[in-house]
Amino acid sequence: QITLKESGPTLVKPTQTLTLTCTFSGLSLTTRGVGVGWIRQPPEKALEWLALIYWDDDKRYSPSLKSRLSITRDTSKNQVVLTMTNIDAMDTATYYCAQCRGDYGDYLDYFDPWGPGTLVTVSS
């Protein structure tokens, strides 16, 4: 059974750096064809994809947030860390991590399963 769980601060002040950790089990981020992504959802709004890290440490970012995001992995701890700099109120959201996988070799094309999410509020 694959599980993922997000952790990090629930309240962050504007201009600070947000660090979120996704701890997973049942999957190996060194296995070909596996990735872990971050997706966020502001209150009452739609899902927004943020970043993805692949089994070979390749990374993809949302272009609109690329300058503020960093995604890394710690394979020994089964963790993926997302860092977002210069936080502001617009970053208030529930942040989810999810496994990205696919049935056609290196082509990863869906997210399953998802973690329960962690709500991050940005306020002074």
Partner 1 sequence: QSVLTQPPSVSAAPGQEVTISCSGSSSNIGSNYVSWYQQLPGTAPKLLIYDNNKRPSGIPDRFSGSKSGTSATLGITGLQTGDEADYYCGTWDSSLSTPWVFGGGTKLTVL
Which positions from 62 through 121 interact with partner 1, judged by CB under 8 A? Answer: 62-64, 96, 98, 102-103, 109-117
Q: Does 10 bind partner 1 (CB under 8 A)?
A: no
Region of 54 (left: φ > 0; alpha: ψ -120 to 50; beta: rest) is beta
Give the span between the Cα atoms of 114 and 4, in whole angstroms. 6
The residue type found at 110 is: Y
Give the span between the Cα atoms of 108 and 102, in whole angstroms. 4
Whichever of 19 and 60 has its CB closer to partner 1, that residue is 60
Peptide bond into 14 cis (omega under 30): no
Whichever of 2 and 15 has its CB closer to partner 1, that residue is 2
Question: What's the min distance (Å) between Cβ of 98 and partner 1?
Answer: 8
Q: Name the site residues for partner 1 (rule: CB under 8 A).
A: 37, 39, 46-49, 52, 60-64, 96, 98, 102-103, 109-117
